[in-house]
A and B are shown apart, each in its own frame.
Chain A
Amino acid sequence: MAEIKILKNIMDENLTQAALNRQWFRSRNILALNLIASPGAGKTTFLEQTIKGLFPKYKLAVIEGDITGDHDARRIEALGVPVVQINTEGGCHLDAHMIDSVLSSLDLDGLKYLFIENVGNLVCPAEFDLGEELKVVVLSTPEGHDKPAKYPLIFSEAQAVIINKTDLLEAVDFDIDRAEHDIRRLNPNVPIFRLSCKTGEGLDKWLEWLGTQGTGNREKMTGSRV
């Protein structure tokens, strides 16, 4: 019987591929965003509105992640933006290998933004770095102001938080100040954008901030892990 020292990260394989992806995006000056939220928070609608604010001025591409089907990819396609659909067939998150496997099917020449819409899930995507520059978490008002406290990992990892569906604030019991307070407890300096994709309120501030983001911002912003 012998004890052998291993000291190997279980997530090593994904981390290694994620680092490769990140390097690949940065060397081409592509700003890659990982959009994470619960199902129904409004990720795809938020992405549509973001695209409308950037395209065709900037060259964009989208990677859609879903368990099955191409429902979301078809919505993006309707906007004239190149999109690839990844089906995980049961997997609850995208991983770095999946991203790598579809990059060759996108025209990345001169690309400014790559939006990756993750599988609807606030838990697992926090553990799987895709090589993105920015993790953007979307929380919608009907979900409840207690969600940041209940899902601390993803909110502490976010480089931006969107509080979506502010148009429904009166109809649901969402204490927006409480939600922001809990988010700040986990992630003191994260920019939080209150907006409504329905009315358009707040979208301009989000687009303005996004315009200030470039590759290589990540370490400055989080100052924590990876």
Chain B
Amino acid sequence: MHELAITQSLFKIVLEQAQKAGAVKVSRINLKIGRLTGYVPEAVEMNFNLLASGTIAEGAGLKIEWVPVKVLCRECQKESEQQDLGLGCAHCGSINVQIAGGREMYIDSMEVDNG
């Protein structure tokens, strides 16, 4: 994973949204990250702390809610969660599935101070 590029995008959005909301400080950023993304929290945190230094996002915590890998089976039409990265329907065992979750990488919400 290329955490710097991801973190730069994340940081840019955080600042834009904070400015839009008239915030003077960002204390926490709540992320939803899918298990398929290969996202490494420690690496993003490290890069984020460097980028945020001296800004209103300095010291902001990054909280991750992991989203499990989900597949929708084309055979039995049921959704199932995947424990590992080998994709197969947990109900009927078919490998004819499409990815229905686990690729998310978004900012759900932020906790800010409005001054």
Contact = CB atoms under 8 A, between A and B. Distances in A.
B68 interface: no
B106 A3 contact: no
Contacts, number: 93
A75 B98 CA distance: 39
B106 A4 contact: no
Interface in B85-110: 85-88, 95-99, 103, 105-110
> How extensive is the interface on chain B, given as a class?
35 or more
B110 A4 contact: yes
Interface stretch (A6-14, A77-85, A204-212): A6-14
> How extensive is the interface on chain A, given as a class?
20 to 34
B103 A188 contact: no
B1 A124 contact: yes
Interface in A1-54: 1-14
B46 interface: no
23 contacts: A1-B112, A1-B113, A3-B110, A3-B111, A4-B17, A4-B21, A4-B109, A4-B110, A5-B108, A5-B109, A8-B106, A8-B107, A10-B107, A11-B6, A12-B13, A91-B5, A127-B2, A152-B85, A153-B38, A156-B99, A185-B95, A186-B86, A188-B97
